[in-house]
Every structure is written in C-alpha cells, then in structure tokens.
Amino acid sequence: MPTAAEPTGMTSPAELAERYGLSKSSIRPPLSSYLRELWSRRQFVLSYATARTYAMYAGARLGSIWQVLTPLLNAGVYYLAFGVLLGTKNGIDNYVAFLLSGIFVFTFTQRCMTEGSRSLALNLSLIRTLHFPRATLPLAYVLNELNQMLVSLAILFVVVGFTDGPAWRWFLIVPAMVLQMMFNIGITLVFARIGTFVSDITQLLPFVTRTWLYASGIFFSLPSKLEQLNAPSWVVQVLAFNPISAYIDIVRRSLLQEHKQNELPHAWTIAIVWSFVMLAGGFWYFWRAEDRYGRG
Amino acid sequence: MAVADSMSSSTAEPTVIADRLDIIYKVIAGQGGKGTAATALRRILKRQDRPTIREVHAVKSVSFTANKGDAIGVIGRNGSGKSTLLRAIAGLLPPASGAVYTGGRPSLLGVNAAMMNDLTGDRNVVLGCLAMGMSPAEVQRRYDEIVEFSGIGDFIDLPMSTYSSGMAARLKFAIASAKTHDILLVDEALATGDAEFRVRSERKIKELRDQAGTVFLVSHSLEVVQETCNRAIWLDAGVLRLDGPVKEVVEAYIASTRAG
C-alpha cells in the first residue's frame, strides 16, 4: 500500500524483500551461473594449488626433491614385491615401464580421491569466512596432484627413452592425460561432498582404493593373466570397464611398443565415456549441496 | 532522536530482512547412552538417532529489517544466540522456520582459527583476496594497504599457525574489509585486537557504513558497540528483547543486568 504512512509496517517482510530484490541468504545459485562464477575464480584455484605444493614440502629438508623421490620409492617397493619376489613379470618385455605407468596413473586418481575427500573439512574456517564457489577447493587439490603427475610422467619418459627410444606415439599421452584429468575432477568433487557430510569415509577410503589397485591390472597384464587362469573371455570384457584400467591402457599404448599383445578391448571408447560422465556427474553432484557446505 | 531515526529508515533501502526466524540445531551432548560399539550397532539396526543428540532452540521468532548504512550492534549474554543469528544471516545455518533475506552476499568475520594455517600471512592475503573475486592486478594494488592495516609487520612472512589469536583476527579483518561488502558480519573479531587496532577497525567500520554497506557487530564490549553502531538489537535467550537506537537499547540492557 503506497499511500500508507509507514510503508514498511504494512507490507509483509517477504513482499518487502522482493521489492528491493533481496533473496534468501542460504540459496543455491543455478548451475550455469555457478560454473561462470567458478571460472572467474580460476586465479584462486591456481594460486592455492601452488601455495599448497609449496607448503607441503616446505618443512622437509630435501624440499621439493620429494616430488621426484616419492613416486620413485613407491615404484621401487612395488618392483621389489611384484617384479622380483613374486615374479609377476611373465613375458612383459619392459616391465619397469609397464609397472611405473600403471602405478603413476593409479596414484594420480587415488590421491585425488583421498585428498579431495578432506578438501572442504580442512578449509572450514575459510569457507565460513568468505563467500566463493566451494568447488574451487577440490579443484585446487586436483591441480596439485596433476603437478605431481607431470613430474612422475617426466621420470617415466626418461625410463622409456633409455630402453625403447623416443617415438611419435608418445603424443598420445596428451589426450590420455586430458581424459584422466576430467575423470579425476569428477571423482574428486563426488568424494569432496561425501567426505564433508560422512566423515567416516576417510577411514574407509584406503580399503576401497587398495581393492581397486589390485583389480586394475597394474602389476600384471589383465588379458594374459586371465588366459593363464583359463577365465572365459567375457571376464576381460567386464574388467575392461574399470576406468583406471582404461586410462592405464591408453598410457601404455602411447609408451610401450610391445603393449599391442596385451591391449584391453575398447580402451579409448571406455576412457572417453567415463571422463565425460564423471566430469558432468561430479559437478552436478557437488553443486547440489553447495548451500550446505560449512554448516553445522 | 527516535523519530529522526525511523524517518531515515523508511526512506532507506533494506539490505537484510529477518522474518520470524527460528533456528534449531542438533548438538551431541556429553552423557546419555553407552558409547560402545555394541550399542552403536543396535542403534543403527533400530534406526534410532543417537540418544545423546539434543536439540537447541537458539533463535526464536526474530524479525527485523536492516537498512543500507546501518551498523547494528547485537548484544546479550553468553549463549543468547548472537553468533547463531549472525551465521544464519551469512547463510551458514538453515532456518528451521521463517527466513532471512539479504541483498548481496554477507561476509562473516569470526574469531575462529586462521584461514589457511600452514600458509604464510602474505599467501593468506593473496588467496583471501582472490577467493573474494579480486583480479591478480587488484590484489597487487591492495596488498600493501592490507598488510599495513593489519599491523602484522614482519610476521607476514611466517605461517599463520605461528600467529597469536589477536594477530590472526587482525589479518583476517584486514583481508575481509579490503573489499567493499554489502553486508559485513563481525563476530567479536575486534575484541582480540589491541587498543590501537580497535581504533583503526572502528574507523574502518564507519568507512564501510559510509560506502552504503550494512555492518552487524557482535560484541560484549558495550563501549565498542556504542562507539561504532547507530542501532542495536538485544537478544535474550534467543528472543529479540529490544531493537532501536543504540543508546536506548544499551541503557535498557544495562538496567536489566543490574536488576538481575
């Protein structure tokens, strides 16, 4: 009622809010504007990832040399266990490169999941202080792991360069990494949301990832292993749907000449489908709870 | 004075409207029920809530309208729902019923732990500004001003985990106030600073008000509230007791504490 002496007294608060364009304080923005806002914070994601990488090694005496040492030591342990002691090598020519590529690709996704599941909980006070799209935090963690992955890949190329010599095939690593990166962003966003509301997941995740590790054909070639065991051929077809197996396989295709005989069926198709589904699904799933992060 | 105030508020633009706001949250109470694995399993099987979870009705049917240029002090005893109210305005707590409407996005400054503890102060400045949506060039331009305002000095190169609570609060206030916020919520942040910083932050809050922002200030220091705010809200056990010009509300509050 515009003629009333005291307009604020006559209209309901909801009407008043609408007239002045106020919105409910705990509302989730639409997905399209959320993504746009996210893009405008890309500098934050980048700087935060850099700062975290720096802080991670700042306390260690050897500093960022650990970025090279960690994957090497990791690979060394697995080589000792599976290559030497258990003798899984069976007929794989360049077993070191075979093993390294598997471990590095797997570790990339595994670290994204476990670190990502804590990305919001560890930054609770930042979330409660400033307003920004929460997805920037898990994204920064993924970027962090990508940085580590690139160092690991450099090691891998040195190894393969020494044993097999360079090849044009190597450039396939670029689409392979793009696809895995897309998948990792998606799965990190999913676990970032789960990890925020179900903190038990941090206890559970190591078991999940360890099971996944042994099912992904990192230490042995899946097709030839199953042939040895006289498994029916559909088992290989089913196991090939494992996204990690697909990413490992396309990296091996790019690096190893002799991998042809051990190739998994339809690895590229499976890798591409997983990447797009996981990326889109991850963003959607994370955004659905955007207004609830930092509460409690 | 009261008449002049209500005149100005009828022409001003509202920025925060609380409409019969109720906030209930669940807390895990200390005792009740055994904490053993067997009892936990039985609860899961029977789909029961933990018996130790208790509901707290922290804010009860609070309504008010805040306008552009208002600095509102929120006063009341410990546990009267002041911080809860602020977090609801910031959108961090969902209302059980009723609603809070805000124009723009409120920023909440609390006394809780530092922002990114393992990173140095200067990293925190850069990251905080970027998170608020500043461009890298803008951050560079504002950087010196922020560090100077915080008064941290040489400590800016050290990780924030080494800061005292007062220093961390100062740096956070400096970062958050570098951007002009439509709505700034300050929860006791000024209490931890020293006298000199308090004067500076009071000036900063006045500046923010002049830039047509709205400031909410939770403080136990009635002196600070009276110096920085033009209006006050008195909460008592979650109920809004009085809302009006700061002098009147503070006087009534003091009278009630003396009487009680």
- Mean pLDDT, chain A, integer: 85
Q: In angstroms, how far is CA B172 from the centroid of its own chain?
A: 13
Q: Do A44 and B131 touch (CB under 8 A)?
A: yes
pLDDT at residue B212, as a whole number? 64
Query: In the 8-state DSSP scheme, what is residue B133?
Result: T
Residues of B in contact with A48 (CB under 8 A): 127, 130
Instruction: Select the residue of B17, B105, B116 nearest A131 (Cβ to Cβ).
Output: B105
> In terms of CA atoms, which chain A residue is nearest residue B20?
A13
pLDDT at residue B28, as a whole number? 60
Q: How many beta-carbon pairs below 8 A join chains A and B? A: 124
Q: Do B18 and A51 touch (CB under 8 A)?
A: no
Count the neighbouring beta carbons within 10 Å of the beta carbon of residue B176. 23
Res. B113: pLDDT tops 50: no
Span A187-233, pLDDT tens digits? 999 999 999 888 788 889 999 998 998 888 888 888 877 778 887 87
Span A249-296, pLDDT tens digits? 999 999 888 777 778 888 899 999 999 999 999 999 999 998 888 765
Res. A119: pLDDT tops 60: yes
Written as one letter, the residue type at A284 is: W
The verdict on B10 touching A (C-beta cutoff 8 Å) is yes
Q: Do A26 and B101 touch (CB under 8 A)?
A: no
DSSP string, chain A: -TTSSSHHHHS-HHHHHHHTT-EETT-PPPHHHHHHHHHHTHHHHHHHHHHHHHHHHHTSTTGGGHHHHHHHHHHHHHIIIIIIIS-TTTT-TTHHHHHHHHHHHHHHHHHHHHHHTTTTGGGHHHHHHS---TTHHHHHHHHHHHHHHHHHHHHHHHHHHHHT---GGGGGHHHHHHHHHHHHHHHHHHHHHHHHH-TTHHHHHHHHHHHHHHTS-SSS-HHHHHHHTT--HHHHHHHTT-HHHHHHHHHHHHH-GGGGGGPPTTHHHHHHHHHHHHHHHHHHHHHTTGGGTT--
Mean pLDDT to the nearest integer, A7-24: 73
pLDDT-above-70 percentage for chain A: 94
The verdict on B124 touching A (C-beta cutoff 8 Å) is no
pLDDT at residue A1, as a whole number? 39
In a mutational test of the A interface, the residue from B56, B116, B124, B180 whose CB has the highest number of chain A CBs within 10 Å is B116
Q: Do A25 and B115 touch (CB under 8 A)?
A: no
Q: Tell me the nearest-neighbour CA distance from B105 into chain A, angstroms.
A: 7
Res. A10: pLDDT tops 80: no
> In terms of CA atoms, which chain B residue is nearest residue A52?
B119
Res. A179: pLDDT tops 90: yes
Compute φ and ψ for A235, nearest 5 degrees.
-60, -40
Q: Do A16 and B16 touch (CB under 8 A)?
A: no
pLDDT at residue B112, as a whole number? 52
Q: Do A128 and B112 touch (CB under 8 A)?
A: yes
Res. B126: pLDDT tops 80: yes
Residues of A in contact with B15 (CB under 8 A): 20, 22
ipTM tops the 0.85 cut? no
Span B85-101, pLDDT tens digits? 988 888 877 788 888 88
Instruction: Select the residue of B110, B113, B130 nearest A43 (Cβ to Cβ).
Output: B130
Residues 6+ apart with CB under 8 A from A29: A37, A290
Q: Do A129 and B94 touch (CB under 8 A)?
A: no
The verdict on B177 touching A (C-beta cutoff 8 Å) is no
Q: Do B108 and A129 touch (CB under 8 A)?
A: yes
For residue B187, CA distances in Å to A141, B65, B85, B248 come to 30, 19, 10, 22
Written as one letter, the residue type at B11 is: T
Pairing of strands B97-102, B14-28: antiparallel
Determine which helix (DSSP H) or strand (DSSP E) holds B254, and give its type and residue range: helix B246-259
Residues of B in contact with A13 (CB under 8 A): 17-20, 63, 65, 99, 101
Residues of B in contact with A43 (CB under 8 A): 130, 135-136
pTM of the model: 0.80
Compute φ and ψ for B139, nearest 5 degrees.
-60, -45
In a mutational test of the A interface, the residue from B9, B127, B140, B161 whose CB has the highest number of chain A CBs within 10 Å is B127
Q: In angstroms, how far is CA A98 from the centroid of its own chain?
A: 21
pLDDT at residue B252, as a whole number? 93
Q: Which residue has the higher pLDDT, A91 or A56?
A: A56
R_g of chain B computed on alpha carbons: 21
